[in-house]
Amino acid sequence: MHKTAILRPVTTVMFALALIFFGLVERNGMPSALYPNVDFPIVIVTTTYKGANADIVESKVSDKIEEAVSGISGLDTLSSDSSKGISIVVAQFKLSKNLDEAVNDVRDKVSSIQLPNEVDKPSVDKYALNSSPVITLFLAGTDSQKVMKHADEILKPRLQRIEGVGGVTLKGLRKKQILISPDPALLAKYSLTMNDLTNIIKAQNIRMDGGKTVDPRHEYQILIDNDSKTVQALSDLRIREGLSLGDVATVSDTLAEERSYASLDGKAGVLLMVKKMTGANEIAIADALRAQLPALAALEPTMSLTPLQDATGYIRDTLHGVQFDLMLGSLLASLVIFLFLRNFTLTLIAAVSLPVSIFGVFAIMGWSGQTFNLLTLTALTLAIGIIIDDAIVVIENIFKRLEAGRDRLNAAIEGVSEILFSIIAISAMLLAVFVPIAKMSGIVGRFFTSFGVTIIAAIVVSFVIAVTLIPMIASQIAKGEHSPFYHKTEHFFVRMEERYRLLIHAVLKYKKTTLFSALGIFIVSIILSGTLGMVFMPKEDKSQFDITLKAPAGTSVEGMKHLSLDVQRRIGKIAEVEYCTLYVGRGDDQKANESALYVRLKPLHERTRSQSEIMKETRTMLGSLKGFTMTSVTEVNDIGGYEINTPYQVILKAQNMDDAEASAKKLMKLLKNIEGTTDVQSNIQPKAPQLNITVLTQNATRLGVNVDEIARVIADGYSGDGTITFIRERGKEYDVVMRLDDTKRMSIDTLNSLNVRTSEGGTVPISAVVSITQDYAPTTIKRFDRLKKVIVGADITKALPLDKLVSIVNERQGEWLGKGVAFELDGDAKHMQESNEAFGVAIGAALVMIYLILAALYESPLQPIIIMSALPLSFTGAFIGLWAAGMNMSLFSMMGLMLLLGLVGKNSTLVVDAANRLYHSGHELDESIVEAGVARLRPILMTTTAMCFGMLPLALSVGEGSGVKGPMGVAVICGLLLSTLTSLLVVPALYKVLAPLDNKIRKLYTIKK
């Protein structure tokens, strides 16, 4: 292949230009994201059952839906929340399940369920309710009713039409409704009950189809229309002779009862949280929304529409940072090559491989369905070393031929021919590492696959470029002449080689000492690695964090507003805060006693304190406030969808909720006593105060009062959930509801004074047929895999690695885990365990594959061991580097270790390959080893230094994405540096020990000619 490329330069150039062209095309069409698509296929089934409490919703709705959905293939987990009037069932499928197929399967199963007639038709959606919004808009104005109507009826539908949007959640929304507030005293005066009003309004305010009339020429539709068109018309509705609705009740055009409240820096309004469909691209959604923003704002100029909490800002900044790292790394690597070769022409030839290979990788990434994300870009930056390494090896070998007096053409052909086997072996080793991980499954597999595919593409493209384009250009313009700069600095390299020659003689003389010293260093590093600690995602400063507040159950929305607005005001006074949003009524069931705040900080360069310092100050401030049962300050999770946003999460499952809650409380107590934990919390649902109304059956029977009549009168007076009728306005229907005035609902005396109708047509006070007692009832019943569940979570400080916390809690299981209670990890803790298992399998598979490939290439069972001796000490260097930098092991440092597995064998391969040629050509063993080492010293130092400088921007990064890039860069650079010493010292010593034995073994299977 290399001969054809050298002899046909135009064809080779066209091939390179084609790679650049396809790379440009694919790059422009490639979606950008922070991480690979790790969105689980999630289907949400939401069902409304007005007037039903949590127990009834659980048994009559949630349980039936769970039973139907549980048999669908590919289902991973099934959970549900049953609250007053609403059921939410969440079906999470395995990553391999197609989302549309999952939605259809769930919809088919749900449609076959027979639910009570009072239950609304379930809606099936494909987005995660707890997921972080892609972007949030805040709408505010002077007329709150117009603001609510504009948000719900105008903005929400338009936002939902944007491609990729799964749903728009409105916080602080109160829908328009017509409220009828009867006066109990006037009802009693006219011998009317709440139920009488409801029945009369339903019977009088009617609009329905009456069929059609047909004559020989015409057909007429019949419409029965006695609809009230206005509030005044409804108020004038006749109740009985001489009595209208307005005489006994107040009819008003108002907003629904406040169950949610939102504000931006203390200013009330509506938050519109735009959430993506599972698998959709955040940046595409944000770009489309921002393009429409001027038009959306122009729809109502009297209102302000402010974009907030744009998750894509961090993504864009991170990707820009990595692209800068890629370019800077390429420049530094090229500079290193020049300092070693001291030849501008040869440096230019080697540098050409970088842009051509990078665009070639873009082409393969696009064809394989990858996205332009943090991992693929980081992998590409790390791959600079691979790309430049192949080019350096070829260029350096060609240059030696030119120095020896060969012409350009023959120097290029012979230079590639001699080194081709080594390049194949190096590339094969790298592929052996990354081909297995490119097929891993699960969420960890998605991360590794994205990283692995990019590295594989870089390996393949750089190999092809190194044996085609590089020698072709060298055959055209390379010269064997040396510059004055070369002659002035050559003595430094010669002196370095002489000193290395003396060192390698000493290593061969004391080979056992060398090998045992290397073994000792490796053992020490293994011990050191145990102190690093393990996390899944490293923490970093993203200039944002979340706050969750909980007050005692039974706290009203107004009470929670007062407490939360005080917190928002205090947060706003922190100098580093840019803005703070608040919404009361957290969760889809809008819990009045819970609120959430999002805090946006000023950019990193505009503040002196870090995000963690500000979060610590916030925790201290919240701890000093009264009125809350729980406060939590946590980072914004990049992988959303969790009810509790902490790295450590445990799901406790039991048949009985009391058992799960008892274990959860013990676990929380244990976590609070472990040094290094913060924000220990749970989703235990506090029991809210409740009035239990028991019908006095004997009294009701004696007085002729129907139980259904009692229930309906109370619901009409206090619920307001049931829609009596509608008023139509400009083609839209608005609910007409009945509820006592707020001032009259404050006292239980009003309830006792309500009248119910008897079978004889009279009325009696409701107090005559019921007894009222106070009790406590659950606000929400949570289940997981059809068992009652409680989630316990905790955040961690730098001093407590996640793996240590998991280990401590598991070891002390007997202190908190009750009988009949099972548990499983969730969130980062779960993914960390998965990544550990996956890493172990990947390392094992890579080592086996490397050995098999090298054994086949070298036709020897022992030489792969010599080459692979550099691998353990590369991990030693990585562990020492991470320890010195104060970094934990994480998913991303593991990826760096995987890359090391392939890279470090490169230097060993060059030394062993050169030694083999000398030894098998008749040279003495020691002479072969020494000369091979000296001959490969410059290429090894040059490639290693170029690799390290190419990755240096990653290791030193401090901005967005540094939590991912830093551990990778540090692990690879430190591992490469120590493995280089291994290749130059330990490999020669081991070669001397095993080479004679290898010769003896070869004689057993080599066929004599």
* 8 Å CB contact between 80 and 89: yes
Which whole number is the average pLDDT over 116-136? 80
Residue 926 identity = D
DSSP 609-663: S-HHHHHHHHHHHHHT-SS-SEEEEEEPPSS---SS-SSEEEEEEESSHHHHHHH
Domain boundaries, the chain: 1-30+342-481, 40-127, 193-209+220-247+689-777, 485-531+859-1008, 544-635
- Does this chain's domain 40-127 share its CATH topology with 485-531+859-1008? no
What pLDDT was estimated at residue 568?
94
Q: According to the CATH classification, is domain 544-635 in 3.30.70.1430? A: yes
Phi, psi at 602, each rounded to 5°: -65, 155
State yes or no: pLDDT of 441 exceeds 70: no
- Could you tell me the CA-to-CA distances from 739 to 99, 360, 677, 763 in Å, in that order? 43, 68, 47, 20
State yes or no: pLDDT of 438 exceeds 80: no
What pLDDT was estimated at residue 237?
87
* Bridge partners of residue 15, in order along the sequence: none
State yes or no: pLDDT of 321 exceeds 90: no
* 8 Å CB contact between 140 and 303: yes
Q: Which are the contacts of 607, defined by CB distance < 8 A and separation ≥ 6? A: 575, 576, 601
Q: Is the dihedral of CA 769, 773, 779, 780 positive or negative?
A: negative
CA 38 to chain centre: 7
- Cβ burial of 404 (10 Å; 0-12, 13-18, 19+) is exposed
- Could you tell me the CA-to-CA distances from 836 to 374, 621, 843 in Å, in that order? 21, 37, 11
- Cβ burial of 253 (10 Å; 0-12, 13-18, 19+) is middle
What confidence category does residue 439 fall into, taking pLDDT thresholds of 50, 70 and 90?
low
Residue 82 identity = S
Q: pLDDT digit string (tens) for 521-571?
A: 888 888 888 788 888 888 888 888 999 999 988 888 889 999 999 999 999
Helix (H, G, I), strand (E, B) or coil at 377: helix
State yes or no: pLDDT of 761 exceeds 90: no
Q: What pTM was computed for the model?
A: 0.80
Which whole number is the average pLDDT over 419-441? 78
Q: Which two tokens stand for residue 968?
A: 């990778």
Token pair 């229930």 in the structure block, residue: 711
Picking from 671, 683, 661, 670, the residue whose alpha carbon sits closest to that of residue 820 is: 661
Secondary element (H or E) of residue 979: helix 962-981
Max distance between CA atoms of the chain, in angstroms, equals 124
Paired sense of beta strands 86-93 and 165-171, if any: unpaired
How many whole angstroms separate alpha carbon 826 and alpha carbon 824? 7
How many whole angstroms separate alpha carbon 717 and alpha carbon 755? 11
453-489 residues labelled b (16+ CB within 10 A) or e (exposed): bbbbbbbbbbbbbbbbbbbbbbbeebebeeeeeeeee
How many whole angstroms separate alpha carbon 879 and alpha carbon 897? 10
CA 412 to chain centre: 49
Rg value, the chain, Cα: 36
* Bridge partners of residue 192, in order along the sequence: none
Helical ranges in 704-812 per DSSP H: 707-718, 748-753, 802-811
What pLDDT was estimated at residue 671?
93
* Bridge partners of residue 695, in order along the sequence: 770
Side-chain half-sphere of 112: how many Cα atoms within 13 Å? 10
What pLDDT was estimated at residue 490?
85
* 127 DSSP 8-state letter: S
How many whole angstroms separate alpha carbon 317 and alpha carbon 314? 5
DSSP 530-544: TTT-B-SS-----SE
Which of 209-213, 329-333, 813-817, 963-967 has the largest mean confidence?
813-817
Q: pLDDT digit string (tens) for 665-709?
A: 999 999 999 998 988 989 888 787 888 888 888 888 888 888 888
Domain spanning 40-127 has what CATH number? 3.30.70.1430
CB atoms under 10 Å from CB of 28, counted, come to: 10
How many whole angstroms separate alpha carbon 908 and alpha carbon 904? 7
* 8 Å CB contact between 133 and 275: yes
Which whole number is the average pLDDT over 271-286? 83
Picking from 366, 165, 167, 365, the residue whose alpha carbon sits closest to that of residue 284 is: 165
* 8 Å CB contact between 160 and 154: no
| Range of lowest pLDDT (29-38, 231-240, 620-629, 929-938) | 29-38
Q: Is the dihedral of CA 449, 453, 454, 456 positive or negative?
A: positive
Q: Which two tokens stand for residue 555?
A: 């706290």
State yes or no: pLDDT of 1 exceeds 70: no
* 8 Å CB contact between 1001 and 529: no
How many whole angstroms separate alpha carbon 83 and alpha carbon 856? 64
Topology given in CATH for the domain delimited by 485-531+859-1008: Multidrug efflux transporter AcrB transmembrane fold (1.20.1640)
DSSP 396-408: HHHHHHHHTT--H
Token pair 């750089």 in the structure block, residue: 462
Q: pLDDT digit string (tens) for 362-398?
A: 999 889 888 888 888 888 887 887 788 788 888 878 8
CA 304 to chain centre: 31
Domain spanning 1-30+342-481 has what CATH number? 1.20.1640.10
* 8 Å CB contact between 616 and 569: no
What confidence category does residue 40 fall into, taking pLDDT thresholds of 50, 70 and 90?
confident
Helix (H, G, I), strand (E, B) or coil at 935: helix
Q: Which two tokens stand for residue 39?
A: 């969105």
- Percentage of the chain surpassing pLDDT 70? 98
Looking at the chain, the number of H-run helices and the number of E-run strands are 35, 30
How many whole angstroms separate alpha carbon 722 and alpha carbon 716? 8
Helix (H, G, I), strand (E, B) or coil at 207: strand
What pLDDT was estimated at residue 331?
87
Picking from 167, 97, 89, the residue whose alpha carbon sits closest to that of residue 133 is: 167
- Could you tell me the CA-to-CA distances from 776 to 629, 685, 718, 781 in Å, in that order? 17, 12, 18, 14
Token pair 């540096």 in the structure block, residue: 977
Q: Which two tokens stand for residue 910?
A: 């060059």
Q: Which two tokens stand for residue 75?
A: 């289902």
Q: pLDDT digit string (tens) for 589-622?
A: 778 888 999 999 998 888 889 888 999 999 999 9
How many whole angstroms separate alpha carbon 978 and alpha carbon 972? 10
- In angstroms, the first-to-last Cα distance of the chain is 30
* 8 Å CB contact between 83 and 53: no
How many whole angstroms separate alpha carbon 854 and alpha carbon 294? 62
Topology given in CATH for the domain delimited by 193-209+220-247+689-777: 3.30.2090
Tell me what the pLDDT averaged over the chain comes to: 86
* Bridge partners of residue 270, in order along the sequence: 139
How many whole angstroms separate alpha carbon 307 and alpha carbon 284? 16
Q: What does the CA dihedral 709, 714, 720, 721 come to, rounded to 10 degrees? A: -60
